[in-house]
Structure 1
Amino acid sequence: MSEVDERLTEGVRVAMLGGTFDPVHLGHLRSAVELREGLGLDRVHMIPAALPPLRDTPQVPPEERLTLLRLGIGDTPGLVADPRELARDGPSYSVDTLATLRHEIGAQGRLVMALGHDAFLRLADWHAPERLFELAHVVVIDRPGHAASPSAPLRRLLADREVASAEALMAHPAGGLLRLSLPTRMAVSATQVRRRLAEGRSVRYLLPEAVESRLLSRGLYRET
């Protein structure tokens, strides 16, 4: 069977890249582009969390973070600013978001939940973690400065799930784990961006120009 025939048989390839995006920066966006390339994805849905269950409440309202994300993505092929978590009440559980994506792409579509190593280390504490693997694959994006080992509960959750390549991952619709090292390892953090904005320092080349312009014009993240 040719590669084209295999893609028709397996269906669409979609990734969910969630987060607070508080604010979105070039590290987020470059990771999304390289994730799409590395896994041969049709789309990467970048989904701002309205109420992240395991993180502090974001400084900026979700609608504004979504606007910034749309500005950051612009016309980048294959990246989607997805508002679905903003339309739900209550905590932004990833399992609920994955369920809606799975419904949209069908049983044979390849669905990936991508996350950074820091979030990955807390995966066993997430809401219904076993259900995550029933709905999707998990791809851990290697990030500079994050090398801690998994806890015992996380090791149990991940038992026999890890594969060594994107090809092996995409052989099935869901259930696998892949650690992915992206070509561009951008050590940019939203915490760093917020701190610089609060102190009135430059964030040039840490953010897309359209995002920087809106942040500065509206005084977002500035200390009052």
Structure 2
Amino acid sequence: MRIGILGGTFDPIHLGHIRPALEIKQQLQLDEVWLMPNHIPPHKQSTNVDSQHRLAMVEQICQQYNELKLCDIEIKRHLPSYTVVTLQQLQQAYPQHQFYFIMGMDSFIGLPSWHLWQQLFALCHIVLCQRPGWQLDVAHPMHTILQQKAISCSAHIAKLPTTDHQPTTGAIIPVDINLQDISSTVVRKKLQRHEDVSGLIAPCTETYIQQHQLYLS
């Protein structure tokens, strides 16, 4: 199968995670998108609620959307979640799958600060989410990498074999999607102020947060 991987703290998960994941699945004709909550992200000191609650909220979302599946490999880890290590483990566990790691342009620009980032290209394709018409500055160090490895979504799909094959890796696939102007920080602030978040998170997430009295302080 062809599997998209969307990682994050999901603190909490919101429509800015869900809608792009569904849009990417459709554009790239993926079989599934796996939502992968982090346990200890290397770039953050901590999360606002514990792993149990973040995992439960993502699990509920996956029950609501058949296209999305929960991947709990990182949240069960007691060490920082390095993407290269995770993808190595996934590749070993599921050698028959072809993985597409989904990231935004801000993460792509910062890739050189990631642990063993060059090895990512031997483990997966990278799906690069960008706003329509946006271009990376030619002076940026990652511009050359993008030029070398980029392939359009339609060209990538056209090259896919029609029968079972050895999974491939190494491409960067830019996708123009309707990025949602939503962040977990904004959601948390609204919850603290008891403001309406119905247009930002799924109803099941809002119910779970209310039931467990999360993000109140």
Q: Scaled by the length of structure 1, what TM-score is found?
A: 0.84
Cα displacement (A) at 1:155: 3.4
Between 1:161-170 and 1:86-95, the stretch displaced more is 161-170
Matched, 1:33 2:27: no
CA drift at 1:187: 1.4
Structure 2 match to 1:89: 78
Let me know the Cα RMSD of the aligned residues: 2.2
Aligned to 2:126: 138
Find the counterpart in structure 2 of residue 187 from structure 1: 181
The one-letter code sitting in structure 1 at the alignment partner of 2:189 is R
Gaps of 5+ in 2: 161-166
Q: How does 1:44-59 map to 2 (within 5 A)?
A: 44-59=33-48
The answer as to whether partners of 2:27 and 2:153 remain within 8 angstroms in 1 is no
- Percent sequence identity over matched residues? 30
Amino acid at match of 1:212: E
Answer yes or no: is the 8 Å Cα contact 1:29–1:73 preserved in 2.
no
Q: TM-score, normalised by structure 2?
A: 0.87
Paired with 2:40 and 2:176, the residues of 1 have a C-alpha distance of 29
CA displacement, residues 56-100 of structure 1 (integer Å, 9 cap, x when unaligned): 421111121010111123241221111110222211011111112
Contact 1:116 1:143 in 2 (8 A): no
- Unpaired runs of 5+ in structure 1? 1-11
* SS of residue matched to 2:75: helix
1:129 maps to 2:124: no
Partner of 2:11: 22
- How far is 1:141 from its partner? 1.2
1:138–1:151 Cα change, 3 Å: farther
Q: Figure out how many residues of one structure are paired with residues of the other and give that number.
A: 209
The CA deviation string for residues 152-210 of structure 1, in whole angstroms up to 9 with x for no partner, is: 4433544511112244266471101111112x432111111011112221111211111
User: For residues 37-58 of structure 1, what are the alpha-carbon distances to aligned partners after superposition, in whole Å with 9 as ceiling and x for unaligned?
Assistant: 1111111110001011123421
Contact 1:46–1:79 at 8 Å: present in 2 too?
Answer: yes
